Amino acid sequence: MPLLSVQDLKVRFDTRNGVVHAVNGISFDLEKGETVGIVGESGSGKSVSCYALMNLIPQPPGRIESGRAYFDGKDLLKMSDEEIRKIRGKRVSMIFQDPMTSLNPYMRIEKQLMEPLEIHEGLSQDAAARRALEALDEVGVPDARNRIRSFPHEFSGGMRQRVMIAMALITRPELLIADEPTTALDVTVQAQIMDLIRKLQAERGMSVILITHDLGVVAGFCDRVNVMYAGQIVEKGTADQVFYESLHAYTIGLKESIPGNQTKGARLKTIPGSPPDMTLPPVGCAFAPRSSLEFTQEQAVHPGVFKEVSDGHWVEVHPATVKNYEDYI
């Protein structure tokens, strides 16, 4: 049985401009010890999907319209606030995108690291302080004994990210959700952060959901990958299937947009257009307005079919998304 099984998750936000259809029926599984990547452009629904699993969607304006999320056999979406609080931060932890806004600027790092231990494990202040120091040492913060008494603004971006990782892992969770953990960090620090997460995962056997727009990170880190567009998963499979056997035009466009894959000095390739306005969900294929494939307007207004094209490799099959799509119908 998977550690986490998400089925037909739909999330909506009620705004002055209308209802935002943020997540539109996604499903995926996560095995124990496995790493699953969720990739896509900003606004594709990556972070909202995982916030919903943690019951961190502000309600209102947000609401989970439907879906199930079985964690170790229990539906996270049906739990009461008290039940989810016992799991969140203990068995399931999250590294948020921006550590400067996620860390409390008025509290010393030590106190912020101690809180999860005092809440979830009932440790005394002395015991929690010892564990906090060990956690900071473990994530490679130099001179941890002195720096643990610092405030967040006294750390660099990379060091704050390490503090966030220490805080997320201090209760030894079974599942870690890493929401763009290398955003705004330079390439060297990015590599250090990803190596650190991989090392701690191997030592503890935990599962990881990695949310990112960096396909290079996903290629070297994830076992399986979900590609999201307009609130839906449009392609999923093993990392090798998604990267080397990709079929969806959006996935191919994302790969071609990686600067390192392009000819030096040539004009950088991009995906034309912009993601759709999800207050007015597109009729038919959401990617059709941006696709370079040949198809008729009549075909564009028909939805694609999410099909398993090979063992474990699923793709949204549509004339606007898959070349020679007839071969996969």
pLDDT along the chain (329 residues), means of 10: 90 91 92 91 88 87 90 88 86 80 84 84 83 82 84 84 84 87 71 79 87 81 91 92 90 82 78 87 87 83 86 90 81
pTM recorded for the entire structure: 0.87
Which contiguous run of DSSP H or E holds residue 191?
A: helix 187-204
Domain limits, the chain: 101-172, 232-328
Q: Provide the strand spans (E) within the chain.
A: 4-15, 18-30, 35-39, 62-71, 74-75, 92-95, 175-179, 207-212, 224-229, 232-238, 305-310, 313-317
- Alpha-carbon span 130 to 218, nearest angstrom: 34
- Alpha-carbon span 116 to 52, nearest angstrom: 21
- Residue 110: how many other CB atoms lie within 10 Å: 18
pLDDT recorded at residue 99: 66
- Alpha-carbon span 89 to 115, nearest angstrom: 10
> The tokens of 173 are what?
């969770």
50, 211 contact by CB (below 8 A): yes
- Alpha-carbon span 190 to 213, nearest angstrom: 13
HSE-up of residue 70 (Cα within 13 Å, Cβ side) = 12
Nearest to 225 by CA among 1, 37, 31: 37
- Tens of pLDDT along 121-157? 778 888 888 888 888 887 778 888 888 888 988 888 7
